[in-house]
Structure 1
Amino acid sequence: MRRIPLSAIALAASLAIAAACAAAQPGNGNEHGGFRLNYIGHQLVPNKTRFNGTTIGGLSSLDYDSASDRYITVSDDRSNINTARFYQLSLDLALFTRSVAPGMEGVVFHSVTTIQQPDGSAFKSGTVDPEGLRFDRARNKIYWSDEGQRGIVRIRNPAVREMNPDGSHSRDFSVPYYYYPRGSRLGIFPGDRGVYSNLAFESLALSIDRNILYTATENGLIQDAPPANIVTGSRSRILSFDIASGASGAEYVYNVDPVAFIPASIVGFATNGLTDFVAIGDRQFITIERAFTLDALLPGSNSTGYTIHLYYADARNATDISGMPTIAGFSVMPVRKTLLLDLSELKNDDGSALAQGNIEGITLGPIFNGKRTVILVADNNFSRSQLTQFIAFEISPE
């Protein structure tokens, strides 16, 4: 009997999800895109956990390789604590729990790899900001995004790069010039252009056929829209690349929601942004919108300050805005999105609310109990008060 490759099974499962999404149209009473995400459980990695001479933390992406049954995740350490790096790990979903205080049983780290510059050296402190990461087994390549930097004395362009599994540099993809930061650090003065500080390429997604790579800005470009606030959202851009040539392709507007909760102080910090997404069909994705409010004014906000929403996002009818340095003043059709899950609604077995970490990574995981899974990862920002967290869901028909 001929064995069907796991990759083919994964592809078939993804297409089945996409078919359910396509069948769900507004007005049919189905608000969740044709499928739902059921909470399996979560696990936490204790802060300051060490592995092979590195501190585990800042995990800002997650990608599952069905052939090896392992995951890879990038740390957004800017080579400040240890050199820029990514990890390979495995997750035993059978050991995940719906508990207030789970352990890290079933979370096993296997290797850590340094991300290299084109000359083969490690990145120096403050010269890199790894955020998104995807593994392309067919080409045996790893794609990763560098958010760049919009600082007072240092400006670096956001980048999407390709490396080999050993961390050595392979090539850069061609990012359009209008994403490059120009002008002041704050991005509020005439002539300022490009990505906002720390609101650039947080994400990566691979198309189902593995021919297109997507990234997205966490919020809009300066010339497109202000950052998300308590009144209005922001107009992020999804940017595609042809993997064969490395050239940029179609771009779409993705409307990010306003900030979820009002800060208690007028100078309080609050943000919301598109932190990662995963393809589940032709220009169809599950997206993460991660909101954070420091010292929220209203009751009901999560104890960690984070509010996480997962959306089904469909770009098939969205306007292609590629080549447009700005969309201000133009009427464009944005990506259509439908709320899949508000993580604040999730409960542990004792009835307590799931503590939401700073969720920045998503992947389609393995088959578990006969159903395809979705796995999230939280970036603890190397802070003792935040979580390195893995959360698992099963995909069920609505």
Structure 2
Amino acid sequence: MAVLLSGCTTARKTTGNETTPAVSSLRLLHKYVVPHDQPFDGTTIGGLSGIDYDTARKIYYLICDDRSEKQPARFYTARIPVPGNATDSVQFTSVTYLKARDGNVFPPDKHFAPDPEAMRYNPHTGKLIWSSEGERIISNKGNILNDPGIFEIDSSGRLLDSFPIPEQFHMRVTDNGPRRNGVFEGLGFTANGRYMFVSLEEPRYEDGPKAGLADTTAYIRLIKYDLTTRKPVAQYAYKLDPVAYKPVPDTAFRVNGISDILVLSEQKLLVMERSFSTGVKNNTIKVFIAELQHATNVDNTVSLQTTQNFIPVKKSLLLNFERLNTYVDNVEGMTFGPVLPNGNRSMVFVADNNFDSKEETQFFIFEVE
């Protein structure tokens, strides 16, 4: 399967032993589907919501968003054939349990269990950084407030450190701060290891409504961290596209948000938006090039809804999965992969099947041209 999708060109930046490629188009090479509930080393494969590639070890890291309900919160390593053929398959090579501050695995308790969503390997430190969306349940039976988080771990899953979270992103009983299941969905580093960007999935309550079918005011925030000081240094407003399709029925669940980001430089990111509507089989997956150089730092802006005194991130469409003419599920992770035999870099996307037999764990392999 080969589909060519064109977009803007981005600058080439040097990384450790490979380069962050210039992205002008993506050509689909192959699609893999992992069997539902495939077992591996006492765990159930599914819920794969983040992916990153380790160029030195030539393996992929895949974080699972199981909130310790099926098995303890965890991540996998895998080998993914590129470009692949009909007889190839994704090979999972190890599973590692994420550890809490006490050194134990996370228990199946919503007060403490994380909601893992993104993971990146830092080649400058040899450590992994992962994010959790936390939990926010407000009910007459009792409230559960579990703040989102960003954590640094070693390859054994042992917690080494965490990053401070700006006050605007702590969970609250009132309709303030982040929404449930709409927080730290994506993260990535600049090639020199100096900065980290973290993306929200949906708008904070103060920043406006969730994306609607004709909405033009749904702004989320991108947070920039200085990895030397480990502190947040800026925030940028990013406008979401509307939800792609009406749900069936009209009042049913629908959503559009950022499911992952990939850092090209300090001023340029790839941003993946994922739109889903009940009753519509395919998810609508769009990848945008986001340019930050003229965007306003909004870290001191209380509400992106009540003020328009800011310049948002500029974005341009690079890829729309609808043009692939294949079933596209809940794609939540993306990473650059190895260099292909022709010298071009590969790019890999992964879909989270939500452990649902009606959904698929999918891998899409592209050539970066």
TM-score scaled by length of structure 2: 0.90
Assess if the C-alpha contact under 8 Å between 2:195 and 2:266 holds in 1: no
How far is the alpha carbon of 1:73 from its aligned partner?
Answer: 0.7
Query: Residues 185-205 of structure 1, C-alpha deviation per residue, up to 9 Å, x if partnerless?
Result: xxxxxxx21111111111111
Change (3 A) 1:7 1:249: closer
| 2-structure distance, mates of 1:7, 1:237 | 26
| 2-structure distance, mates of 1:258, 1:94 | 34
| 2-structure distance, mates of 1:289, 1:240 | 19
Aligned-residue CA RMSD in angstroms? 1.5
Change (3 A) 1:73 1:282: same
Match of 2:191 in 1: 208
Match of 1:240 in 2: 224
Match of 2:336 in 1: 364
Match of 2:180 in 1: 197
Aligned pair partner of 1:306 in 283, 291, 305: 283
Aligned pair partner of 2:45 in 35, 47, 56: 56
| 2-structure distance, mates of 1:59, 1:239 | 23
Q: Aligned with 2:237: secondary structure?
A: strand
Match of 2:76 in 1: 87
Q: Aligned with 2:83: secondary structure?
A: helix
Match of 2:102 in 1: 119
Assess if the C-alpha contact under 8 Å between 2:295 and 2:313 holds in 1: yes
How far is the alpha carbon of 1:140 from its aligned partner?
Answer: 1.5
Match of 1:132 in 2: 118
Ranges in structure 1 where 5+ consecutive residues have no aligned partner: 1-5, 18-33, 98-102, 185-191, 297-303, 347-352
Is 1:255 the equivalent of 2:239? Answer: yes
Query: In the TM superposition, what are the counterparts of 1:163-202 in structure 2 within 5 Å?
Result: 163-184=153-174, 192-202=175-185
Match of 2:29 in 1: 40
Overall identity of the aligned pairs, in % = 32
Match of 1:100 in 2: none
Larger fraction in strand: 2
How far is the alpha carbon of 1:96 from its aligned partner?
Answer: 4.8
How far is the alpha carbon of 1:170 from its aligned partner?
Answer: 0.8
Ranges in structure 2 where 5+ consecutive residues have no aligned partner: 1-13
Q: Which amino acid aligns with 1:250?
A: A
Q: Which amino acid aligns with 1:38?
A: R
Q: Which amino acid aligns with 1:169?
A: L
Q: Aligned with 1:344: secondary structure?
A: helix
Equivalent residue pairs, number? 346
Is 1:142 the equivalent of 2:128? Answer: yes
Match of 1:342 in 2: 320
How far is the alpha carbon of 1:371 from its aligned partner?
Answer: 0.7
Change (3 A) 1:272 1:85: same
Assess if the C-alpha contact under 8 Å between 1:295 and 1:305 holds in 2: no
Change (3 A) 1:166 1:331: same
How far is the alpha carbon of 1:325 from its aligned partner?
Answer: 2.9
Q: Which amino acid aligns with 1:110?
A: T
Q: Which amino acid aligns with 1:166?
A: S
| 1-structure distance, mates of 2:231, 2:302 | 17
Aligned pair partner of 1:387 in 354, 360, 365: 360
| 2-structure distance, mates of 1:224, 1:141 | 33
Q: Aligned with 2:18: secondary structure?
A: helix
Assess if the C-alpha contact under 8 Å between 2:15 and 2:191 holds in 1: no
Q: Which amino acid aligns with 2:299?
A: S
How far is the alpha carbon of 1:324 from its aligned partner?
Answer: 2.7
How far is the alpha carbon of 1:380 from its aligned partner?
Answer: 0.3
TM-score scaled by length of structure 1: 0.84
How far is the alpha carbon of 1:266 from its aligned partner?
Answer: 3.2
Assess if the C-alpha contact under 8 Å between 2:74 and 2:95 holds in 1: yes
Q: Which amino acid aligns with 1:10?
A: E
